[in-house]
Amino acid sequence: MTSNIDRRAFLRQAGLAGTALVIGFYLPGCKKQDGPEPEGSITLFKGNVDDVPEGTGINPFVIIDDQGNITLMAHRPDMGQGTYQSMPLLIAEELDVTLDQVTIKQAPGDKKYGDQGVGGSASVRTMWEPMRKVGAAAREMLALAAATRWGIDRADCDTENGMVINRKTDERLAYADLVAAAAQLPIPENPPLKSPDKFRLIGKSVARPDVPLKVRGAANYGLDMKKEGMVYALIERAPSFSSKVKAIDDSAVLAIPGVQKVLKTERILFKKRMEGVAVIADSYWAALQGRRALKVTWENDEVLLDTAAIYDKLRAAAQKEGVEVSSEGAFARAYAAAPVRLEAEYETPFAAHAAMEPQNALVEVRADSCEIWAPTQFPQWAQQEVAKTLGFQPEQVTVHVAFLGGGFGRRALPDFILEGVVLSKELGVPVKVVWTREDDMTQSPFRPGSVNRLQGGISSDGQLVALQHKVTTPSISYSLFPGMSGSNGEGGEMEPVNEHLYDIPNYQSRYVFADVDPIPLVWWRSVYSSTNVFAHECFIDELAEAAGKDPVAFRMAMLQTNQRNRKFLQFLAEKANWEKPLPENWARGIAMTHCFNTTAGHVVEISRNSAGKIRIERIITAVDCGIAVNPDNVKAQCEGCVVMGLSAALKPAITFTNGAATENNFHTYPILRINEMPQLEVHVVPNEEAPTGSGEPALPPLAPALANAISRLTGKRIRKLPLEDGLMG
Amino acid sequence: MSLIKLSVNGKSYQVEVAEDMPLLWVIRDFLGMNGTKFGCGIGQCGACTIHLDGQPIRSCSTPVLAAIGKKITTIEGISEKGDHPVQQAWIAEQVPQCGYCQSGQIMSAVALLNEKEAPSDADIDAAMVGNICRCGTYKRVRAAIHRAAADKREMLSKR
């Protein structure tokens, strides 16, 4: 995979000099309560997203004012993955400023920043060079401005801690004194970048600037955005994804204090439209009370899917040939000729993202503009879709980005923002749409379930000579976007098994499309890798067993071509003491993968007690993501992947009854809690390769490593997730 | 609707709200303190944890009436400058990722450390089991609580 970004065009765009515009949002004033003056003053409406500061923008990312304040704009939304630090840090490294010297501000959606979407574990790996070039270009312009003032060569200037230093005289000029002149200079297209041995910030576990805000409750999330004159909107959802509103009885609703209005509305999810009934009120609580008192009659003329029918459909589809997505050698011939042949079918469930912050958006539609405050992974995508909905140009729509209370792929979509747009346009006031947890869990687009069929042939000397991986799963791109057939397996459905990790002479991947409309689907942390790798790595383990080989040795024999992955597996096996014997009733399992350009894997150690219950004793995780820009944060991301992977493997699935999701809150869709957290060690492979993804790659191999350990201990193969109830204890 | 007097973080407030309104929404939408978070609305996730007379409670499921005459403490009230030993330990261990659940995590941890000087892992499990973190920061939550406890003991021993 390579980045599609035209780096030169990016730098040119990102290097537009000029004074940054102030498009601030500050709501002064504090709403006084009636009655006696209380001791504690109440401020309901604050300036609760970052303003673009005044000052001279050397480029859109670097703004320096004459007081010497240096602001770096964090252009990528932060959902917990750390871009609020990592993007500015890459700039700061080359700009030669310390993080203490800069203020980081979250940028609104604006094409002058280039692509702002966060997903695909892509920010650091695609911005690694462009962000450093942004910093280096600014540094070069400042140094040249100083050199010109001193009448010396640029080569005789050093930069350090926000100063340019005259090497000959040791005179110093602060960036603040140079910024006006620097901004007039041409932007260098290829400014020199530091060699890794000169890095002061990159590769160090630098404390994240958002953490002090978050431990004080002072970080502003989407849900915290408030604006004077706004109304709250809660939307009663249809009993199935295809139900239509037949009749609304709001007689009891309007009697509730604070409720203002009830109206039919819709949720726009690209090609899908879902009807709902909005209750408008002056507080969340009043709107919720109103929603509870609302009576809606729904009608539905479509066949209502349930989980059993969905999996019958997937299993039947899995019998089809499907389309070939990738092939090397001649699988069919090699498989037919293999003395030992294995086949197995694996099933994975639908899953919800269940980010801790329910979906929400504050939207103000005016006659010729629209302003949005929302937790979105893709501010410019939201800007475009809002503009389309309103018949505006994107420039008429401002999207302020709040901290995201989790994202995991769900917040890529602008549907919850568009709900606010539809309502604010109709009502003529700012509208704050808030989803309940039940809305979030039952209405959110889901990770699709899958059926994976694998066939493998082993030679007489125990080598894997033929492997076929056939994935049967609904297509996310078909589910969301008009005009997509979804049937060619080129919408990411085959990731990462369209490329094989191991040296297998005859390998084929195939895809079978299965439609589960109208159930909405979307990317879930590590997307199809989260399900495909489960099947793939469990089957590799089955093949190793059939070949009579140790799972590490079996894999190692197939890692000759890619020496980096071979070293990775050695690293993981060493860290886990793979060769060390375990006590009785203990076992280890291993799995690894390569996705988002990163190699990651786990060894899971388990034990079985006298009652036959299995317990996870220890998880050893390794990741090779090139240079870890912030090693501690890479570890944190791996820890997150392990926990989310464990939840998906151990906890109940999302199921469907009569066309709607059954699980509706954390009691029916539980996720891992602290008492279930196993001992965990994360090891980052040290190297100086360019950075690759870190937010997702450690998730896919977790479930197969656990399943392989269980199979080894119990002799019974695990071919379905989540694990059967009662197995763990 | 009733005129209700509340004591929050040592200051008195007066609000006119429905008596059954959960404390969470009074604190967020009527007192303008946003640190306490809405996660599930049914007391399952712990994002809304606050202290009522020092005891951790789920503010999403506690009506405002239940707080009359009692002392409410929110994340904004545990320290002036964000330097409570638990907050400092949270920073030292770099616990938060998205951070949304962390106010609730910290409020549960503060209550635990008020009760126990040297909590065991089992004590931590018991006190923190009601606080979900979807980002998966549990390992660091545990480490931060042990660190805060150790820091507190060291501080006390120096006195």
Mean pLDDT estimate for chain A: 92
- Residues of chain A contacting B17 with CB distance shorter than 8 Å: 283, 285
Instruction: Report the residue from A40, A218, A405 with minimal CB separation from B13.
Output: A40
In chain A, whose CA is at the least distance from the CA of B44? A666
Cis, bond preceding A496 (omega within 30 deg of 0): yes
Same structural domain, A544 and A569: yes
Tell which residue, A526, A439, A512, has the closest CA to residue A475: A512
Q: For this complex, say whether ipTM is above 0.95.
A: yes
Same structural domain, A102 and A231: no
Tell which residue, A313, A307, A545, A319, has the closest CA to residue A453: A319
Mean pLDDT of A319-341: 98
Edge-to-edge strand order for the sheet containing A586-595? A586-595, A598-608, A614-624, A679-684
pLDDT of residue A15: 32
Same structural domain, A231 and A90: no
Count of helices and strands (H, E) across chain B:
5, 5
Chain mean position to CA A512: 26
How much of chain A exceeds pLDDT 90, in percent? 89
E-only strand ranges, A291-369: 295-299, 323-328, 340-348, 360-365
Same structural domain, A366 and A343: no
Tokens of A269: 């999810």
Flag whether residue B95 sits within 8 Å of chain A, measured between CB atoms.
Answer: yes
- Give me the residues paired with residue A298 across strands: A245
pLDDT of residue A53: 74
DSSP, collapsed to helix, strand or coil, labels residue A508 as: strand
CB pairs under 8 A between A and B: 220
pLDDT of residue A40: 64
Selected residue of B11, B134, B142 to mutate for chain A interface (largest A Cβ count, 10 A):
B134
Residues A495/A527, Cβ–Cβ less than 8 Å: yes
In a domain, A254, yes or no: yes
In a domain, A285, yes or no: yes
The answer to whether the CB atoms of B96 and A210 lie below 8 A apart is yes
Same structural domain, A544 and A620: yes
Same structural domain, A694 and A608: yes
Tell which residue, B91, B26, B10, has the closest CA to residue B62: B26
Query: What domains, with CATH codes, occur in chain B?
Result: 2-76 (3.10.20.30), 85-158 (1.10.150.120)
Residues A196/A202, Cβ–Cβ less than 8 Å: yes
DSSP A612: S
Phi, psi (deg, nearest 5) at residue B4: -120, 135
pLDDT of residue A267: 98
- pLDDT reading at A24 higher than 50: no
In a domain, A35, yes or no: no
Selected residue of A41, A81, A214 to mutate for chain B interface (largest B Cβ count, 10 A):
A214
Tell which residue, A523, A640, A85, A410, has the closest CA to residue B133: A640
pLDDT of residue A590: 98
Same structural domain, A261 and A178: no
The answer to whether the CB atoms of B39 and A671 lie below 8 A apart is no
Using the Cα atoms of residue A582, residue A585, residue A586 and residue A590 in order, give the sign of their dihedral: positive
Tell which residue, B139, B114, B135, has the closest CA to residue B125: B139
Instruction: Report the residue from B12, B28, B135 with minimal CB separation from A38.
Output: B12
Same structural domain, A298 and A311: no
The answer to whether the CB atoms of B42 and A257 lie below 8 A apart is no
In a domain, A721, yes or no: no
In a domain, A148, yes or no: yes
- pLDDT reading at A487 higher than 60: yes
How much of chain A exceeds pLDDT 70, in percent? 93
- pLDDT reading at A32 higher than 50: no
In a domain, A212, yes or no: no
Which helix (H) or strand (E) segment is A164 a member of? strand A163-166
Flag whether residue B65 sits within 8 Å of chain A, measured between CB atoms.
Answer: no
- pLDDT reading at A23 higher than 70: no
Chain segment A168-220, per-residue pLDDT in tens? 999 999 999 999 999 999 999 899 999 999 999 999 999 999 999 999 999 99
Same structural domain, A282 and A386: yes
**Final residue in a domain of this structure, among A434, A462, A479:** A434
pLDDT class for A300, splitting at 50, 70, 90? confident
| Domain with A138 in it | 7-23+40-193
Q: Which residues contact residue A386 at a Cβ distance below 8 angstroms, ignoring those fewer than 6 apart?
A: A370, A372, A392, A397, A399, A414, A417, A418, A421
In chain A, whose CA is at the least distance from the CA of B100? A405
The answer to whether the CB atoms of B100 and A406 lie below 8 A apart is yes
The answer to whether the CB atoms of B91 and A215 lie below 8 A apart is yes
In a domain, A215, yes or no: no
In chain A, whose CA is at the least distance from the CA of B46? A356
Residues A518/A302, Cβ–Cβ less than 8 Å: yes
| Distant-in-sequence contacts of A571-576, Cβ < 8 A, 24+ apart | A571/A622, A571/A624, A571/A683, A571/A685, A572/A601, A572/A602, A572/A603, A572/A620, A572/A622, A572/A683, A573/A603, A575/A603, A575/A620, A575/A622, A575/A681, A575/A683, A576/A603, A576/A605, A576/A620
Domain count, chain A: 3
Residues A453/A472, Cβ–Cβ less than 8 Å: yes
Same structural domain, A648 and A606: yes
- Residues of chain A contacting B98 with CB distance shorter than 8 Å: 78-80, 355-357, 403-407
Max Cα–Cα distance, chain B, nearest Å: 51
**Final residue in a domain of this structure, among A386, A407, A434:** A434
Chain segment A674-723, per-residue pLDDT in tens? 999 999 999 999 999 999 999 999 999 999 999 999 999 999 999 999 99
The answer to whether the CB atoms of B132 and A666 lie below 8 A apart is yes
Mean pLDDT of A110-128: 95
Same structural domain, A160 and A89: yes
Residues A374/A433, Cβ–Cβ less than 8 Å: no
Same structural domain, A326 and A368: no
Distance (Å, rounded) from C-alpha A361 to C-alpha A323? 41
- Residues of chain A contacting B41 with CB distance shorter than 8 Å: 436-438, 665
pLDDT of residue A39: 61
Query: Distance (Å) from the C-alpha of residue A58 to the closest C-alpha of chain B?
Result: 30
Flag whether residue B64 sits within 8 Å of chain A, measured between CB atoms.
Answer: no
| CB environment A217-251: b (16+ within 10 A), e (fewer) | bebbbbbbbbbeebbbbbbbbbebbbbebeebebe
pLDDT class for A463, splitting at 50, 70, 90? very high
In a domain, A204, yes or no: no
- Residues of chain A contacting B124 with CB distance shorter than 8 Å: 674
The answer to whether the CB atoms of A356 and B47 lie below 8 A apart is yes
pLDDT class for A45, splitting at 50, 70, 90? low
pTM of the model: 0.94
Tokens of A162: 């926000």
CATH code, domain with A388: 3.30.365.10
Query: Distance (Å) from the C-alpha of residue B157 to the closest C-alpha of chain A?
Result: 26
**Final residue in a domain of this structure, among A370, A399, A434:** A434
* pLDDT digits (tens), chain B, 159 positions: 899 999 999 999 999 999 999 999 999 999 999 999 999 999 999 999 999 999 999 999 999 999 999 999 999 999 999 999 999 999 999 999 999 999 999 999 999 999 999 999 999 999 999 999 999 999 999 999 999 999 999 988 987
pLDDT of residue A278: 98
Distance (Å, rounded) from C-alpha B89 to C-alpha A416? 36
